[in-house]
Amino acid sequence: MRLYSACGTICLLICLKSSLVTCAVTAQDMRAHLSTILPANYTTYIRPILNQNDPVKVTMDLHLIGINSFDNREQKLTTTAYLNVEWTDQVIADSWIDTDINHVYVPQGNVWRPDLALQNGFDTMVGLGSSFLYVRVDRNGLVTWRPYQVFESGCEVNVRFFPFDKTSCELKFLVWSNTLDKVSVARGTVGFDTTLFEANSEWTVLQTSVSEFNAGDNSGILFKIEMERKPLHYLVTILVPVILLGALNAFLFVLPADSGEKTGYAVTAFLSFAVFLTIVGDEIPENSDKASMFSLYIFIMTMVSTLLVGVTIFQLRIHHRTDDHVPSRFLTRFTRLVRKVRCACCVGRNPKGREGPEVEEITWESITEAIDFAGFFFVMLFMLIFTMAIVVASTVGTQVPN
């Protein structure tokens, strides 16, 4: 009988404890509690600190979700992220009397918030948050605000080593109205978090950093992203075709002068370089301080193509000259030098090195053949050396700190 009574008492105590845990706070209690911590005289215009001579200390963390896009021409970075902003509302903490309620969620417009704004917004200065967002308020007055937003920030691009370039972009958040002695911003416990970051198809995030700064009398925090461009798209669509087109420039001298296609081939190559120069100009920002080495490469190759058009026209003009016009001494020596290189000169046919009846006569046709031979190897060698120099300078230059 006593055992039965003891068991009944224990069960009753357990039931009472469970009832207290699950039913301690009702909706009516919550309404009464909210009216206590947020009375009618609570205003968002006054800083939530009992001693108004002290500053409100705010901490910020940035959680990067993804890089939506990066506009090279407009130099605009679009990112998706949310901030974790915390501060202590001493007015609410002082009014908190219900010990059964540990925290509440209220609309962000119902409590004081620091007037944070994205200072380097692309279009205008952008405020944070929206009316449908809620903030969490703990019983000790700690307010946690997590505005989720798409940020459009300006970002200066160094296009010198495009498309092997690296870029450093910043998100500057500033307390706009309140001065340092009123509101101060500091880094939170996390800083810059990339745990939820989704990889971007065009950019690789190398590293991130956080620092505090002052803009005049205002406090701010700077989140920095260092990114590296993935060059595969530009290699396949622009760089490799331009290099192959430069190689085709050399094959201009393989076409015989009598084919009738030499001038058309040279002009077509020139126009192709001009088109690629326009395409690259549309991809990179308009910057007169630091020109892209890749743009410089295409520009030089366009000038070479222009020179080759002039050489081709000159070739065709002398190729159809009659024997009445005697070749100049320069052209004669040039042709003989090319013949020596080709091992088809008079020295190869006459071991004594004296001119004789077996020595081939220098005609206008042989001069154009010599120009073709020398032009092919000269242009091919120049293109190879120049291309390697540009590629090496672009890839190695990105490793050198600015």
Q: What span, in angstroms and rounded, lies between the C-alpha atoms of 235 and 294?
A: 11
Q: Cis omega before residue 163 (within 30°)?
A: yes
Residue 357 is assigned to a structural domain of this protein? no
Number of independent structural domains in the chain = 2
Final residue in a domain of this structure, among 230, 251, 268: 230
Q: For the chain, how many helices (H) and strands (E)?
A: 10, 12
Q: What are the φ/ψ torsions at residue 276 (nearest 5 degrees)?
A: -65, -35
* 274 lies in the same domain as 225: no
Final residue in a domain of this structure, among 192, 209, 230: 230
* 167 lies in the same domain as 301: no
* 192 lies in the same domain as 245: no
pLDDT tens, the chain, 402 aa long: 443 343 333 333 333 333 334 445 676 766 676 767 777 778 888 888 888 889 999 999 999 999 998 888 788 899 999 999 999 998 888 888 766 788 888 888 888 999 888 888 877 666 787 778 899 999 888 999 999 989 998 888 888 888 888 889 999 999 988 888 899 999 999 999 999 999 888 899 999 999 999 888 889 999 999 999 888 888 888 888 888 888 888 888 888 877 778 888 889 888 888 888 888 777 776 665 677 888 888 888 889 888 988 988 888 887 777 777 777 778 778 777 877 777 644 444 544 444 444 456 777 777 888 888 888 888 889 989 998 988 888 887 666 555
Residue 261 is assigned to a structural domain of this protein? yes
**Secondary structure of 65-83 in HEC code, one letter for each residue:** EEEEEEECCCCEEEEEEEE
Dmax over CA atoms of the chain, in Å, equals: 143
Residue 12 is assigned to a structural domain of this protein? no
Q: Quick one: how far is CA 266 from the chain centroid?
A: 37
Residue 61 is assigned to a structural domain of this protein? yes
CATH code, 318: 1.20.58.390
* 73 lies in the same domain as 214: yes
* 195 lies in the same domain as 180: yes
* 384 lies in the same domain as 304: yes
Q: 3-class SS at 129?
A: coil
* 157 lies in the same domain as 268: no
27-65 as b/e: b if 16+ CB within 10 A: eeeeeebbeebbeeebeeeebbbeeeeebbebbbbbbbb
Total-model pTM: 0.74
* 144 lies in the same domain as 165: yes
Residue 352 is assigned to a structural domain of this protein? no
Final residue in a domain of this structure, among 182, 215, 230: 230
Residue 240 is assigned to a structural domain of this protein? yes
* 239 lies in the same domain as 219: no
* 179 lies in the same domain as 247: no
Query: What tokens does 13 get?
Result: 């105590």
CB count, 10 Å around CB of 269?
23
Q: 3-class SS at 152?
A: strand
Query: What tokens does 229 get?
Result: 């461009």
Q: What are the φ/ψ torsions at residue 75 (nearest 5 degrees)?
A: 55, 55
* 194 lies in the same domain as 214: yes
Which residue, 261, 255, 115, is CA-closest to 174? 115
Which residue in the block uniquely carries the two structure tokens 């190729």?
319
Q: Can you give the pLDDT at residue 85?
A: 94
* 148 lies in the same domain as 271: no
**How many residues does the structure list for the chain?**
402
Domain that holds residue 270: 233-327+363-397
CATH code, 64: 2.70.170.10
Residue 96 is assigned to a structural domain of this protein? yes
